[in-house]
Amino acid sequence: MAGFSDDQYAEQPDVLARITAAAQKHGSPLGSSTDGSISYYLRSAEYIGPCDAPFGTVHVARLFFIRSARRGSNVPARGHTFIVFLDREFAIRSYWTVDFTLGRLSVSASKLLLDDKELFNFAHPPANGQVVADGAIQPTPQWK
C-alpha cells in the first residue's frame, strides 16, 4: 500500500515506478511499443491516490499515452488518456478510457472525486455497476 495520509508520507515511495511497470506488464493499450515506424508510449503518469474499498485498497492513477504518426510524417500525433485502477499489489484490475481534459481527480477515504464532487463511492457502488465519467458509461472497478 502507498499509505498516504494528510502528511503525504508514502510507505512505498516507488509508487509511480510500480504503476508504470504495471501498465507495461498489462500490455495493450497500456503498454508502450513500437514497430519501427509508429511508436506508442507513456508520456505522463499521475498517481491520484489510494481509495478504500470493501475488497481492499484501490490505487488510482491517470496515464497519458502518445501514438505517433508514421516516422517522418507531417501528420500530428494523437493522445490517449486512461484512468487505471490497481489492487494493493499494484496490478491493473480495471481501466477507463477518458478525455485528457476529464478534470481534477482526487480520492477521499472510499470516494473517487472529480473536481471535488463525488464521482462514485467504493463503499456504496452503484447498483447497476456503472458510472458516467467524461460523458461515457464506465464500469465500476470491483474485484475480489
Q: Is 120 left (phi over 0), alpha (psi -120 to 50) or beta?
A: beta
pLDDT tens-digit series, residues 108-117: 999 999 999 9
- What is the arithmetic mean of pLDDT over 111-129? 92
> Is the model's pLDDT at 130 over the cut of 90?
yes
Q: Report d(CA 59, CA 49) in Å as an integer.
A: 6
Q: How far is CA 46 from the centre of its chain?
A: 8
pLDDT tens-digit series, residues 8-59: 556 667 899 999 999 999 999 999 999 999 999 999 999 999 999 999 999 9
Domain ranges in the chain are 15-138
Is residue 24 within 8 A of residue 32, CB to CB? The reply is: yes
Give the cell for residue 63: 496515464
Q: What percent of the chain has pLDDT over 70?
A: 90
Question: What's the pLDDT at 1?
Answer: 43
Tell me the pLDDT band of 68, cut-offs 50, 70 and 90: very high
